[in-house]
Structure 1
Amino acid sequence: MPVSERQLAAFADTHAWRVPFDTSPRHLAGPGDGRHVTHGLAAAGWTRTSDPLSPEIVLTSPDHRHSLQFDPQSTTAARWRLRAEPTDTEPGWYAEFGELVPAEILGAVTDALVTPSTAEPRDPLDAADTAGWLIDARGAASSPDAACRVERRPERNAAVSWHVEAHEPGHGPRGPRLWHAWFDARTPTRLVDAFVTALAAPAPLQRGMYDRTAHGAVQEPSPLSPQHVVDAHTERLRALRARTRAARRHPQPETAKAPALPPSPPVSLRR
């Protein structure tokens, strides 16, 4: 289901009047525009399988194995739920994300899911370490402001699940929780790595002056224009669609190297 011209126009209309501000750190940037996630999946061929008149959105992959649910009326802390059904050769898995997880961070996970991976999986904490986060002896990483924590939790059979929490700054891990992300022990490591890599990246995220952000987020005028933001979104969708269509036509083993996707707007437009 490619993103229609009408849907792209609606995205452009939303951002046309929003003067972008560089917002950091990323874990305090607020949810942003959820279409960063849903448009990306639609460009990759996912279709809406929920009631079109319901506020709940369920998108399902072309092979019907994967699904993403967004439930704005959820009575739990999880607003986004990503699932994979088991197959004869691969286990099922589950991941969930809170309401205030930045859409660009969740989008990094869904982008990694729909595009073939060719690199060897790495420890997700490597990205946090490279970004200057503090790694402790218990296998957890804390952001420089101590407001966000990435933790591996041992499960049965030597497997580990991954838990991420962001709290209001100034209180450490005991402050009021802003959002969480949880990946069960069977979630592919490359998806966890994609999340942590995007979360710990130093580049700011783009938010409008009145967009919802967490207390403690720093906003500065951005050199980007609203049209830059819209153009970067459109180009990312084109790249996702091209890569996923090519992968379906010519499946490649996971060990082959695939071309990289364009980075998120703050990175791609600063180079």
Structure 2
Amino acid sequence: MALSTAQRASYSRDHHSKIPFLTEPRHLAGPGDPRHVTHALLAAGWSITSAPGDPRTVLTGPAQARHQLVLDPLSTSYWQIESADWSWCASFGRMVPAEIVAGFTDHLIAGTPRSGVGLWARMEKAGWSVEQRPDGTREARSPRPHQIRAELVKVYEENPEQTAWRVEALQEYGGTPAWHMWISGAIPEHLLDGLAEQLVTTAPVVRGMYDPESHGARQEPSGLTPEQAVEAHFARVDAFDRRARSHRRTRPAVSLPAPTAPSAPASVSLR
């Protein structure tokens, strides 16, 4: 469904006084506005299904793909996404930039086919080091100094076929990672590919000047006005809305069987 007037006004009001700055490296730019993700989902036909008063925001996909996203400010897994059939799940910490989360969710709602590049090949092409471990798992690290570590790990030693993705943004001088994500189950390849595309890109993201959550990131003027930054957000959202409308118009109609007349009970005379 298209965003409501109130939703658009709320976003515009929150950003009208923020001077847009280009911020890099993007993975240390801070979480940004979660509506970069949720507005796109709503425009693509998802619905808010959380109960009034619930501190969590729950979004559920359309009838043909009832995936679910939970935005939980009380959990370390700030973003939680589950497939409709529970065959996979993904969680992202609060400090994961919304643009990186959108690499996963944009491909989820668009059903984008695989690019053919391959996850590990995409990382190697971007200059990441990739290590093949003796047990068949792998680890990839982005170039220094601000590294991202992505690894495919075994969930249970007794079941080597069950693996999961763990991705962390490492601090330059050690210590607790700046953020983490965990993805397990039968993840469709195009979702991982979309996520990897956002992880390896070096393009800066837009944040407000002196954003207090842009830890370790550099900022420089973007040349955009606040109004232009807001317009760019809604242009992205409206593109998903147009795609969803086009899909609904071109989707073939479902043929339903013709209704049959009910048979009369044996005790009723038709004469």
TM bin, normalised by shorter chain, reads: 0.7 to 0.9
> Alpha-carbon deviations, 1:157-196, whole Å to 9, x = none?
645421111132222xxx2122111111311121111112
Bigger radius of gyration among the two: 2
Q: Which amino acid aligns with 2:173?
A: G
* Corresponding position of 2:132: 137
- How far is 1:247 from its partner? 2.8
TM-score by length of structure 1 reads: 0.82
Question: Within 5 Å, which residues of 2 pair with 1:6-155?
Answer: 6-63=6-63, 65-74=66-75, 77-86=76-85, 92-119=87-114, 122-138=117-133, 139-144=138-143, 145-154=145-154
In 2, Cα distance between equivalents of 1:223 and 1:127: 31
In 2, Cα distance between equivalents of 1:98 and 1:190: 21
Q: What is the SS of the residue equivalent to 1:176? A: coil
In 2, Cα distance between equivalents of 1:229 and 1:13: 12
Q: Which amino acid aligns with 2:151?
A: E
Matched, 1:168 2:171: yes
Q: What is the SS of the residue equivalent to 1:182? A: strand
- How far is 1:82 from its partner? 0.3
In 2, Cα distance between equivalents of 1:158 and 1:123: 20
In 2, Cα distance between equivalents of 1:73 and 1:237: 27
- How far is 1:220 from its partner? 1.5
In 1, Cα distance between equivalents of 2:116 and 2:82: 20
- Asked whether the 8 Å contact 2:80–2:92 carries over to 1, the reply is yes
In 2, Cα distance between equivalents of 1:184 and 1:121: 22
> Alpha-carbon deviations, 1:14-73, whole Å to 9, x = none?
111111111111111110001111111100111111023322100001116200001101
Equivalent residues, number: 243
Q: Which amino acid aligns with 2:169?
A: A
> Alpha-carbon deviations, 1:56-110, whole Å to 9, x = none?
1000011162000011012xx2111000122xxxx62111110101011112211
* Corresponding position of 1:250: 250
- Return closer, same or farther for 1:214/1:230 CA change in 2, 3 Å cut-off: closer
Sequence identity of aligned pairs in percent? 41
- Asked whether the 8 Å contact 2:78–2:94 carries over to 1, the reply is yes
In 1, Cα distance between equivalents of 2:243 and 2:19: 31
- Asked whether the 8 Å contact 1:167–1:176 carries over to 2, the reply is yes
- How far is 1:114 from its partner? 0.7
- How far is 1:116 from its partner? 2.5
TM-score by length of structure 2 reads: 0.82
In 1, Cα distance between equivalents of 2:118 and 2:28: 24
In 2, Cα distance between equivalents of 1:128 and 1:48: 35
* Corresponding position of 2:185: 185
Q: Which runs of 5+ in 1 are unaligned?
A: 253-271
In 1, Cα distance between equivalents of 2:224 and 2:139: 34
Q: Which amino acid aligns with 1:73?
A: L
My pick for the range that moved more, 124-133 or 189-198, is 124-133
In 1, Cα distance between equivalents of 2:169 and 2:52: 32
* Corresponding position of 1:255: none
In 1, Cα distance between equivalents of 2:214 and 2:171: 7
